[in-house]
Amino acid sequence: MNPSQREYTIVGAGAIGGTLAWHLARAGHPVTVVDRDPSHIAAIASDGIVLQVDGMRVPQPVVAALRPEQVSEPLGRVLLAVKAHATEGAAAWLAEHLAPDGFVVSLQNGLNEDLIAQHIGAERTVGAFVDLFADVVAPGVIADGGAGAIAVGEMSGAASPRVRDLAADLRAWGHAVVTRNVAGYLWAKLGFGAMLTATALADDAMGDLLDRHRAAGHALAGEVLSVATAEGIALEPFDAFEPDAYMPAAAGLAGAGAMATYLAASGFGGSGLAVSAARDVATDRLVAWLRTQTKTRSGIWRDIVVRHRATEIPTHYAPVLAAAGRHRIHVPVLRALLEQLAEVEADPATMNEARLATLDAIATKEYAL
């Protein structure tokens, strides 16, 4: 085997894991996928992973497609792409199957690295930020949803050979970089993710809903990112998302300094009107970018409407709420969003844009947005 062709085991062959498995295998890397869904695994074993792009379906064989109970060999380089609420079980399973020199890269949404490290050790846990738009549309078939970004890094901040190799290999998919601040990306994505989560309360395109409900979107991002700043996180921009644009402007609040710096760098003044204008400009760019994506609805919406299953959102934001409590940061719009989402999960027929209007009203009352 060519030394540049490294072996990968991808645990969780859904939207993220399946897409990256397709591209890594296409680039010549030996790829094994592991997934609990028997129909998905059977389809991949038979026909390879099929990527749907621009109406065409392109199959890509992998070395093996296995259910967890079929794995017998020790695992070396593992990309973990299960839903966040499945991390506990997956990490416990990996602790029994990981080779002594193996390691796990969390290609998941949310903050999962600490939990993984509890099972396999911090030295064998690698962090990663993934902004990838895709959907599983049939067993073995993944619809590509548009370009995004990946950043990989050691949780210690070191730029190790293994993360440099990993980033180089993931460039078979798209833009992948090494970062010394993976936590900054993960927390920034939680701010962006809160905005996208709100769009799952209604049945319409993400960009259009965010455009119409800016008060809710701005408040949600601001609350999450304020908590991140209080935790000492230096936030990282990605794709079209500029986290500093959504930070509080009032002196003394967590994140106010980041907003002041952002206003100065962007050519805005320091007044309340300037803050509002800066946020709107940032949201204009974000909405325009979302409208270029072929995937118009979030994976959260798809979980509720198409797959009829619980979302991973409560797991994503549990650490945010815990940190908000530690720092005594008020997050009323985020709490209202989680309550609304639980209601929609329980009864998808109640999905309605009026729910976003309710969040707008809370945001306006709390922050005069």
Judged by DSSP in three states, 285 sits in: helix
- Spatial separation of the C-alpha atoms in residues 277 and 294, rounded to whole Å: 28
Q: Consecutive sets of 10 residues in the chain, 369 residues long: mean pLDDT of each?
A: 83 96 97 98 98 93 98 97 96 97 96 97 96 92 87 93 96 94 97 98 98 97 95 94 84 63 63 78 95 91 93 97 96 98 97 98 88
- How remote is the C-alpha of 115 from its chain's centroid? 17
Q: What share of the chain is helix, strand, coil (3-state, %, to 5)?
A: 50, 15, 30
| List of residues 6+ apart from 166 with CB closer than 8 A | 77, 105, 126, 152, 176
User: Could you tell me if residue 5 is left (phi over 0), alpha (psi between -120 and 50 degrees) or otherwise beta?
Assistant: beta
Residue 251 is predicted with a pLDDT of 47
Residue 249 is predicted with a pLDDT of 62
| List of residues 6+ apart from 351 with CB closer than 8 A | 200, 201, 202, 203, 304, 305, 344
Closest to 258 (Cα-Cα) out of 188, 166, 320, 175: 188
Question: What is the DSSP annotation of 136-200?
Answer: EEETTEEEE----EEEEEETT----HHHHHHHHHHTTTS-EEE-S-HHHHHHHHHHHHHHHHHHT
According to DSSP, the residues that pair with 64 across neighbouring strands are: 32
Residue 308 is predicted with a pLDDT of 93
- Spatial separation of the C-alpha atoms in residues 134 and 332, rounded to whole Å: 31
Residue 265 is predicted with a pLDDT of 67
- Spatial separation of the C-alpha atoms in residues 181 and 154, rounded to whole Å: 8
